[in-house]
Every structure is written in C-alpha cells, then in structure tokens.
C-alpha cells in the first residue's frame, strides 16, 4: 500500500510538472505516446519511467485541472519564456511540507523536451531537516498511442495504469 501511495504521489508531482509544462504561454505537446523518464538525486524515491498517451484536449484539461490544484497548494507559481525555453519558479505547501522549486524547460514539445528541477523542502516529520533534491524529466515522443490506450492514460512502473482525467481521485489520496 505504501508503494502504491508513493507512486500516486509521484504521479501527482508529475501531473503538476506536466501541467506547468502546458500553461497558456507554453506549447501543447504533440499528440501521441510520450515516454517520461524521471531521474532524481537527494530523494529516497527511485528513478522511474512512465508512458503517457496524450492529445491537445488532455494537455489543455491538465492545465485547467492542475492550475486550481496548484493555486490551492502553491503561494507562487511563475512561468517565463527565456531565450532557450522556459523557467518556472514555485513555492508550495503540502501536508506541512514547504517546497521551493526552480525548473528550466527546454525542447520542442513535438519530439522531446526536458525539465530540470531543483527544489528545497522543509518541514513534515518532527525534526525533519531541509532536503534538497534535483529531478530531470526527459520526455520523448514515441509515436501513436497503443491500441488499448486512450488520451490521458499514464502507465507507471509495474504496469499500474491511471488516467490524468481522474486527478480529483488522486487529490483525495494525498495527505492533508
């Protein structure tokens, strides 16, 4: 059960990251199947590779659904265009853990993009010291979605499958 909650927590983080990557001023990803590889340092969470079937409507829905959730948990979430891509800075608080993050987003959103994030978390368990982590999300377009997939489907490690359109169900599983 703990592993499944950890995967769901990672999925929510991924959805928030992906939602930021499709904000109004950012390009929408090419429709089809994307491979998303998350590599982390400074975290107990293992690296993971997922597949996400998407289309334009899913990316727009993710932004519309995630934005209100991000507004509830984040006091700051700024995204700015740069010469090489985009930069995002955020300050969020979930379950008593305060996190500041800086992300640099590069790529073309048609064949590949990369999100490099550094964050500092403070709080949580009694006596927990601040934790610094980095995460690199490497996204690569693989082609059309598989026959058994519909837009919004994410296949997590171990075959756990969920749909980002069910984000309200995910929110209910997060600690308050």
**Per residue in 102-137, pLDDT tens?**
999 999 999 999 999 999 988 876 556 678 889 999
Total count of residues recorded for the chain:
176
Tell whether the model's pLDDT for residue 98 goes beyond 60. Answer: yes
Tell whether the model's pLDDT for residue 72 goes beyond 80. Answer: no
Model confidence, pTM: 0.76
Cα angle 110, 111, 112 (rounded to 5 degrees) comes to 105
Per-residue pLDDT, averaged over 78-95, amounts to 89
Tell whether the model's pLDDT for residue 30 goes beyond 90. Answer: yes
Tell whether the model's pLDDT for residue 173 goes beyond 60. Answer: no
Residue-wise burial string across 5-19, b where 16 or more C-beta atoms lie within 10 A, e elsewhere: eebbbbbbbbbbbbb
Residue 105 CB coordination number (10 Å): 24
Model pLDDT, residue 170: 60
| CA proximity to 32, closest of 11, 51, 5 | 51
Three-class SS string for 87-124? EEEEEEEECCEEEEEEEEEEECCCCEEEEEEEEEEEEC
Q: What are phi and psi of 173, to 5 degrees?
A: -85, -15
């Amino acid at each position: 059960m703990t592993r499944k909650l950890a995967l769901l927590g990672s999925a929510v983080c991924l959805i928030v990251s992906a939602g930021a990557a499709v904000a109004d001023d950012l390009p929408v990803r090419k429709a089809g199947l994307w491979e998303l590889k998350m590599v982390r340092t400074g975290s107990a969470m293992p690296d993971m590779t997922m597949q996400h079937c998407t289309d334009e409507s899913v990316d727009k829905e993710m932004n519309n659904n995630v934005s209100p959730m991000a507004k509830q948990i984040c006091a700051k979430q700024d995204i700015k265009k740069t010469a090489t891509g985009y930069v995002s800075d955020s300050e969020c608080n979930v379950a008593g853990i305060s996190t500041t993050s800086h992300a640099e987003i590069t790529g073309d959103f048609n064949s590949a993009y990369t999100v490099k994030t550094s964050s500092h978390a403070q709080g949580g368990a009694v006596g927990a010291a601040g934790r610094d982590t980095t995460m690199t999300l490497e996204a690569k377009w693989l082609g059309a979605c598989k026959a058994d997939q519909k837009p919004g489907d994410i296949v997590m490690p171990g075959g756990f499958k969920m749909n980002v359109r069910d984000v309200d169900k995910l929110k209910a599983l997060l600690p308050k």
